[in-house]
Amino acid sequence: MNLAMKEVDYEQPQAEAGGAACATKHAWARVPQEPGRSERAALKEKIHRLLKEKNAVMVSHYYVHPDLQDLAEETGGLVSDSLEMARFGRDHSAQTLVVSGVRFMGETAKILSPEKRVLMPDLDATCSLDLGCPAGEFSAFCDAHPERTVVVYANTSAAVKARSDWLVTSSCALDIVKALKDKGHKILWAPDRHLGHYIQRETGADMLMWNGSCIVHNEFKAIELQDLMQQHPGARVLVHPESPAEVVALADAVGSTSGILKAAHEMDAKVFIVATDNGMMHKLRTLNPGKLFLEAPTSGNSATCKSCAHCPWMAMNSLADVARVLETGANEVQVDAAIIPRARLPIDRMLAFTSALKGGNDAGRLVPHIGAA
């Protein structure tokens, strides 16, 4: 079947990585065809059967198609963020993991479960943050600043993870960077500059930034957001910290995907404006049926919409491809066995830290005085 293709622009730092200048690069994404009602039902039934036959479990990110989110939960899998998806897959008895998301998520699952088979609906589904942080250039950036502790966001390749000291997600980045700062560490941060600057503002840490951004969150516009807020004066604003600083400044709550879900549940407002990928709307509306959720604007008088608040690579995941990879074993994620132990180290550090924090223990004792990897 020939699928439609769309070109996608993303940023990549030029020669002086971490400086202000970024080059515009071009990638592409496939656009799956939406199945009709009968085909959709048949595909879901087939996937239910194949998951049982293949001793497989399905994990889906909050940003993929609602069908894939619902199907994961209906079949005993999980809908969550990238690290919780990988952790769930590691701890589940299934020997095959089907990861509906983007490539770095499949790689992370493989790093944590190297003995398992990890399949993805489309191996070409990538991420602008991953694309904008090539391992070779990033390694050279680290080499130029050996005195700094390397902290990278989950949205990176296995090779970049292997060059880091710590991995973070948006839900634990503040705690980990604060602990590093308190131990006297200077940070080299990659790849999302907006998240990095948010953490820097909140912690006061000395941070040198890689100059990447998410093509979805980078598009949210403060001017148009203020206009929408005026139209809905009682609305609360929920913002993911990958958004620009002027958008974050308007938020009633800033948080990761799980943080946004928590805030929407706990706040007593009836109307929310949400600045993150609109794939989140499905879970927000499902869990909060009496509340209204509006998308924060990504275009208007001050901008031209590029992603329209939905990652084009997340959109590449489809029911048909989930069924195909389960049936054929195609699209298996491969990570160089030589780098898995080194890539796993920063992930395990993060998991130990967050586990200690959750248990009320002194997570700071897990922060060693280490330099760059």
| pLDDT in the model for residue 26 | 82
The secondary element (H helix, E strand) that includes residue 353 is helix 340-358
Tell me which residue of 247, 337, 250 sits closest to 298, measured CA to CA.
247
Q: Which residues of 212-228 are buried (b: 16+ CB within 10 A; e: fewer)?
A: bbbbbbbbbbbebbeeb
Tokens read off for 19: 């400086």
d(CA 86, CA 208): 28
Distance of CA 178 to the CA centre of its chain: 21
Q: Is 208 helix (H, G, I), strand (E, B) or coil?
A: strand
- The region, left, alpha or beta by phi > 0 then psi within -120 to 50, assigned to residue 184 is left
Cα angle 201, 240, 179 (rounded to 5 degrees) comes to 45
> 103: buried, middle or exposed (CB in 10 Å: 19+, 13-18, 0-12)?
buried
Tokens read off for 280: 């989140």
d(CA 325, CA 319): 10
d(CA 204, CA 199): 8
Q: Which residues of 13-46 are buried (b: 16+ CB within 10 A; e: fewer)?
A: beeebbeeebeeeebebbebeebeeeeeeebbeb
Q: What is the mean pLDDT of each run of 10 residues along the chain (373 residues)?
A: 76 62 82 93 98 98 97 98 90 98 96 97 96 96 96 98 96 95 96 98 98 95 96 97 98 96 97 97 97 89 65 96 98 97 96 89 77 47
Tell me which residue of 178, 216, 177 sits closest to 299, measured CA to CA.
216
d(CA 345, CA 72): 28
| pLDDT in the model for residue 2 | 55
Tell me which residue of 219, 212, 270 sits closest to 247, measured CA to CA.
219
Beta bridge partners of 153: 168
d(CA 256, CA 83): 12
Please say whether the beta carbons of 271 and 245 come within 8 A.
no
Phi then psi for 259, rounded to 5 degrees? Answer: -65, -35
Please say whether the beta carbons of 47 and 323 come within 8 A.
yes
Residues in contact with 171: Cβ distance below 8 Å, sequence separation at least 6, in sequence order: 81, 255, 256, 258, 259
Tell me which residue of 126, 152, 138, 75 sits closest to 333, measured CA to CA.
126
d(CA 92, CA 108): 15
Distance of CA 58 to the CA centre of its chain: 17
| pLDDT in the model for residue 28 | 78
| pLDDT in the model for residue 83 | 81
Tell me which residue of 97, 96, 108, 101 sits closest to 123, measured CA to CA.
101
d(CA 42, CA 45): 5
| pLDDT in the model for residue 158 | 98
Please say whether the beta carbons of 273 and 236 come within 8 A.
yes
